[in-house]
Amino acid sequence: MGLCIFSIGLAGKWLFSLTGVVVRASVCGMIEPTSDEIAYDQERLRQFVRGEARAHGLSRRSLLRLLALATGPGAAVAAAAGPARAGTPGIPTIVKPLPPEVFTVRGTNAETNFEALAGLGRAEPASHFFVRNHTATPRLDAANWRLRVFGDGLRSKPSAADAVTFDYHDLRRLPARTLDAFVECAGNGRSFYTTQQGQAVSGTAWRLGAIGQARWRGVPLSTVLRRAGITGGAIDVMPQGLDDEYVANGENLGRVRRPLPVAKALDDVLVAYEMNGAPLPPDHGYPVRLIVPSWVGIASIKWVGDIEVSTSPLLSPWNTQFYRLFGDTWPGGASPPLTTQVTKSAFELAWNAALDGGGSRRVRLTGRSWSGQGRVTKVEVSTDGATTWRRARLLDAPARNQWVRWEYDWRRPASGPAILAARATDETGATQPASVPPNTQGYLFGAVVLHPVTVT
Ligand SMILES: Nc1nc2c(c(=O)[nH]1)N[C@H]1C(S)=C(S)[C@@H](COP(=O)(O)O)O[C@H]1N2
Ligand SMILES: [Mo]
């Protein structure tokens, strides 16, 4: 039912697009999608309605529904889809240990507890890195693994059956690059739409721990695509995971996959096989995943098995019914597909942490801030519920695609409850606001988070 309603909302948006209204998510000031994705999206939608775009794997049912609706009057977005199907009880969906001090398990996913990052480096060990699985971590063998690249956007125009293939050793022999980058779920911070803004949203109720940063190593996707024979006519590149097909509300949406505009695919995307100097762990994409720096985590497809390169626009549920902003704030009811992550900050403290230090000279607070839109240049901290602010000290050099660690000395804290807050400013000048407009699936919560503590 939820998905049905999403489809209606989307069709409404498509109709709107056809009437020539330019859909810009930046109207709400929250995100700045790249012009590439906006342009491609408009083209995808026009071509889809003309029957030219290929939406293979969108279920027949939802396609028929979309097609029917695209010729009728647009309808408003109503409610949101339910959460992912939970893992089968007793069968772990995540392979690595999930000690409760480090992780909070949420369905098939594991959120990093921010207090567990205190004292750790800028790159976080895999033992602490959050996991977002639509189904379950597959156990793959690098020796049998192949990356198959196919599609009419390659010189030889191979079909999926006779794709250009790379094995693990082929990939390891190509010129490698190292990339320090965070991966963050678009839904990170989602629970605060409800707890701070009183809004109902669907999806995993993350606090701020659906982010992690590591040092990735692998081959630029541009190198792989050029070796595979990408042509100037290619416009969309769609990586697909080898994990199980994803079933939501009784509908099989197929394998996890999401198109990338070719401009991003050829820019800074990494086909990664190492995390922090070791082979990728199973939960983080072994043997090979994409890292799409600064974009919503869903773009960084894990366990990648094939990549389609297309001269016509590609669609998947992950750029149509998920990972757009749905709601009244957007013309036609939906934003373009999400690209860059917004600015956020988190204290390395438990929720309702007890801080030992009432009456002492100072309590040192630490945290991390990040932005997908540019380097974080300034962080401010409030110890009085976001009323007055003071500068925190940055412990890392601001860098693109990376978080910065910071510290703040809270002078003479009074005993009792207090509300902490941190807000970052990135190089675009954007500072975290006090609140953000809602969207039904609760993506991109970039507002200041009020963090309760008690000083004892
Ligand atoms: N194949 C596949 N890739 C995937 C996913 C998935 O479920 N399957 N989840 C995506 C989402 S929504 C996020 S936020 C990131 C999470 O990466 P991590 O689990 O390594 O932290 O992986 C992305 N890549
Ligand atoms: Mo995600």
Tokens at residue 246, please? 């994803």
Residue 351 located in a structural domain: yes
Tokens at residue 196, please? 């701070």
Distance CA 88, CA 106 (A): 14
Cβ neighbours of 174 (radius 10 Å): 15
> Does residue 237 sit in the same domain as residue 378?
no
Residue 451 located in a structural domain: yes
pLDDT in tens, 398-454: 999 999 999 999 999 999 999 999 999 999 999 999 999 999 999 999 999 999 999
Of 327, 360, 380, the last residue of a domain is 327
- 337 within ligand 1 shell (Cβ under 6 A): no
Of 298, 308, 272, 100, the C-alpha closest to 178 is: 272
Is the pLDDT at 59 greater than 70? The verdict is no
- 204 within ligand 1 shell (Cβ under 6 A): no
Of 135, 154, 314, the C-alpha closest to 242 is: 135
Q: What SS3 class is residue 103?
A: strand
Of 241, 217, 222, 187, the C-alpha closest to 123 is: 217
pLDDT in tens, 134-154: 999 999 999 999 999 999 999
The whole-chain average pLDDT of the chain stands at 85
Neighbour-count burial for 73-98, b at 16+ CB within 10 Å, e otherwise? ebeebeebbebbeebeeeeebbbbeb
Distance CA 255, CA 25 (A): 27
Q: What SS3 class is residue 32?
A: coil
pLDDT band at residue 58 under the 50/70/90 scheme: low
Of 341, 258, 334, 263, the C-alpha closest to 302 is: 258
> Does residue 313 sit in the same domain as residue 432?
no
Residue 83 located in a structural domain: no
pTM of the model: 0.84
> Does residue 182 sit in the same domain as residue 261?
yes
Ligand 1 atom closest to 303 (CA): 1
Instruction: Give the CATH number for residue 380.
Output: 2.60.40.650
Number of structural domains the chain divides into: 2
Half-sphere exposure of 208 (CA within 13 A, CB side): 27
- 181 within ligand 1 shell (Cβ under 6 A): no
> Does residue 205 sit in the same domain as residue 250?
yes
Residue 131 located in a structural domain: yes
Asked whether 429 and 414 are in contact (CB, 8 A), the reply is no
Of 327, 356, 390, the last residue of a domain is 327
What percent of the chain shows pLDDT beyond 70?
80
Is the pLDDT at 24 greater than 50? The verdict is no
Neighbours of ion ligand 2 (CB under 5 A): 132, 185, 297-298
Of 275, 293, 327, the last residue of a domain is 327
Is the pLDDT at 3 greater than 80? The verdict is no
pLDDT in tens, 204-217: 999 999 999 999 99
Domain that holds residue 115: 103-327
